[in-house]
Structure 1
Amino acid sequence: MTLLTPLYDKSYECLGCKEKFTSKKVRSRFVKILQYDTDFCPSYHSEESNPIYYHINVCPACGFSFSDETSRYFPPNSLDLIKEKISKHWSAHPYDGIRTTDDAINSYKLAIYSATLKQEKHIVLAGMYLRIAWLYRSLKNNEQEQRFMKLALHEYIQSYSVDDFKGTQMSEVKILYLIAELSIRTDDYNQAVKYFSKVIEMQKRSIEPRIIEMAKERWYEIREIQKHA
């Protein structure tokens, strides 16, 4: 009988050059979450089966990097720009095997550069930035965690302002909560209060009561901090 391992090879076609390749993914049965931070960062039982490491697919042929949330649409001239800025200088890196934390971080940075050149939706960029922040948190690198949380926060605010999160798995109440939560974590308490209040105002029509309760708890914590400031 074949022994199942946490990782398996999933086949992809590059959205850019159309080359076929494989990228590691984690079998769902091996994903065991111990807890979540207040910004939804999960802690896993085993780093070997951490799906965040394998969220990004890196094309070995051209270097274009993307997630399953990346759209297939390329605005005019964006493919030429990607070829000029990425593929022209690309030398294949081994992203098809087991990834270290540093490998994972680099794969996200490649994907963010690819997404920026492609003019990808703000909501997609926000998710990439946030996951990098989580990876730096696991390394206890507070400076880089803060840097990428601020970048994620900016993209979530942009996404909310232009509504490009609609039609994705991100709900309005969750994006408002994340804007508020990342505002706390980057020390903008006034902005955090503003957005947590927006979340709480949605409690009668929301189908995500847990997020509403989390927002109330965090709103109360900020008020207590401000009282004793």
Structure 2
Amino acid sequence: MDAIEPLFDRNIECLFCKGKYTSKKIRSRFIKVTSYDTDFYPHYASDDHNALLYNIYVCPHCGFSASDDFAKYFPPTTKEIIADKVQKNWVSHDFGGIRTIHEAVKTYKLASYCAVLKKEKHITIAGLYLRVAWLNRKLENTVQEIRFMKLACNEYLQSYSTDDFKGTQVTEVRLLYLIGELYRRCGEIDKSVRYFSMVIEKKNSSIETKIIDMARERWQEIREEKKLSDTIVS
């Protein structure tokens, strides 16, 4: 009997041009997460089985790129805009095989561009930007990591103000925590504390005790760092 391979070809129909193609996915049994960073970035047991690399589908026919989170509906005029901005300028490239981290970054950037043109939910666009930041962390590219964390934070703020996260897997508590954590990682401590406090205030009304505990931990870390800084200065 042949051994089951970690990667398999998933059949895709492009949301935009309806073209058919395949894109690699990793079988769930091979995905093993060993730990998470404080912004939920998953560390995988094997770089070869990094599920982040294969979340985006890039149509080789027209260039339209998407994830499973994209809506099938295209708002008025967006198809014409995508045809002009993406399809017309697409140089045929196949991202359907095994991907490097650098290739995966390209797919997320393509998908985020398509998501903006398509007017996807802010929560969806934020998730794409955050994953670009995570992959740049893996590449130790701090400048690009911070750039995309700031983009993600702005989109999460827009999602919170418009409530477009409702009906998704991202809860209000998780969203507020992420905003606080991204602010913290970008060095905007006062804003970070404000959002962590908003999370902690929900301790009696939320069942997401783990995230509330994480907010407390980040808030305490900020206090300790400030005390240390004040001690050094004095």
Q: TM-score, normalised by structure 2?
A: 0.96
Q: How do residues 125-204 of structure 1 correspond to structure 2 at under 5 angstroms?
A: 125-204=125-204
Counting only pairs closer than 5 Å after superposition, residues 1-229 of structure 1 correspond to structure 2 as 1-229=1-229
For 2:182 and 2:204, how far apart are their aligned partners in 1? 24
Structure 1 segments of 4 or more deviating over 2 A? 226-229
Distance in 2 (alpha carbons) for counterparts of 1:89 and 1:181: 37
Note the C-alpha offset of 1:226.
2.2
Q: Distance in 1 between matches of 2:78 and 2:2?
A: 44
TM-score, length of structure 1 as denominator length: 0.98
Tell me how far apart the structure 2 counterparts of residues 165 and 94 of structure 1 sit (CA, whole Å): 32
Q: Which amino acid aligns with 1:32?
A: K
What is the rounded CA distance, in whole Å, between the counterparts of 2:81 and 2:113 in structure 1?
11
Quote how far apart the aligned CAs of 1:208 are. Answer: 1.4
- Unmatched tracts of structure 1, length 5 or more: none
Q: Deviations over 1:45-91 (max 9, x none)?
A: 11111110001000111100000001111111100110111111112
Counterpart for residue 232 of structure 2:
none
How far does the alpha carbon of each residue in 1:73-131 deviate from its partner, in whole angstroms, 9 at most, with x for none?
Answer: 11111001101111111122120000001100000111011111111111001000000
Q: Which digits, 9 at most, give the CA deviation of each residue in 1:118-154, with x for residues without a partner?
A: 1111100100000000000001010110100000011
Give 1:12 shift: 1.5
Amino acid at match of 1:204: N
The SS at the match of 2:192 is helix
Gaps of 5+ in 2: 230-234
One-letter amino acid of the structure 1 residue matched with residue 78 of structure 2 = S
Could you tell me the percent identity over the aligned residues? 56
Whole-Å separation in 1 of the counterparts to 2:73 and 2:189? 38
Q: Once superposed, what is the RMSD of the aligned Cα atoms?
A: 0.8
Aligned residues: 229
In 2, distance between residues paired with 1:29 and 1:209? 28
Instruction: Give the conservation status (yes or no) of the 8 Å contact 1:6–1:48.
Output: no
Name the aligned partner's letter for residue 86 of structure 1.
V
**Matches of 1:80 and 1:2 in 2, distance apart?**
47
Q: Distance in 1 between matches of 2:110 and 2:55?
A: 12
SS where residue 228 of structure 1 aligns?
A: helix
Distance apart, 1:206 and its partner CA: 1.3
